[in-house]
């Protein structure tokens, strides 16, 4: 009988404690600033150097460029840029090697989709990914 009251005492004490869980969809999680989430891409900064695609260990980044439309300007402009988030491991190597910081990591981690085909993200989607951009991208 004494054990039951001991258990009830513990249970009643725990009811008065602050909850340690989050109301996740309604309340966002506080993530550290160096959390590696989905990338944000700035196409106007990209010089099509292919360093991000070359360093990627899973070969999930594909990009192509074309000659600058203005004949007086040198270099290339970005034509297509896609990331396959089905195999991307969010390792942050693509952002570390980018000389112009055209690709940066965000704290956004929500990539749930109903189809695997929707995990191929293109230039427009990555450019619009403005949610929770990290304050410090290069140390």
Q: Do 121 and 82 touch, CB atoms closer than 8 A? A: yes
The string of pLDDT tens digits covering residues 63-73 is: 999 988 887 88
Q: What is the pTM of this model?
A: 0.74
Q: 129 CB contacts (<8 Å, ≥6 apart)? A: 38, 39, 40, 41, 106, 108
The string of pLDDT tens digits covering residues 15-57 is: 888 878 888 778 877 778 778 888 999 999 999 999 999 999 9
Query: For all residues of the chain together, what is the average pLDDT?
Result: 86
Q: Do 122 and 82 touch, CB atoms closer than 8 A? A: yes
Residue closest to 35 by CA, chosen among 137, 119, 125, 126: 137
């Amino acid at each position: 009988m004494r054990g039951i009251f001991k258990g009830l005492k513990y249970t009643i004490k725990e009811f008065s404690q602050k909850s340690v869980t989050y109301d996740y969809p309604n309340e966002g999680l506080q993530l550290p600033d160096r959390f590696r989430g989905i990338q944000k891409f700035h196409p106007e900064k990209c010089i099509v150097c292919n360093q991000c695609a070359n360093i990627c260990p899973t070969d999930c980044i594909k990009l192509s460029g074309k000659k600058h439309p203005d004949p007086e300007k040198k270099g290339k402009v970005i034509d297509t840029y896609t990331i396959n988030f089905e195999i991307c491991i969010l390792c942050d190597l693509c952002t570390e090697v980018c000389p112009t910081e055209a690709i940066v990591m965000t704290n956004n981690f929500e990539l749930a989709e109903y189809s695997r085909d929707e995990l191929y993200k293109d230039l427009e989607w990555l450019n619009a990914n403005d949610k929770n951009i990290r304050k410090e991208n290069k140390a």
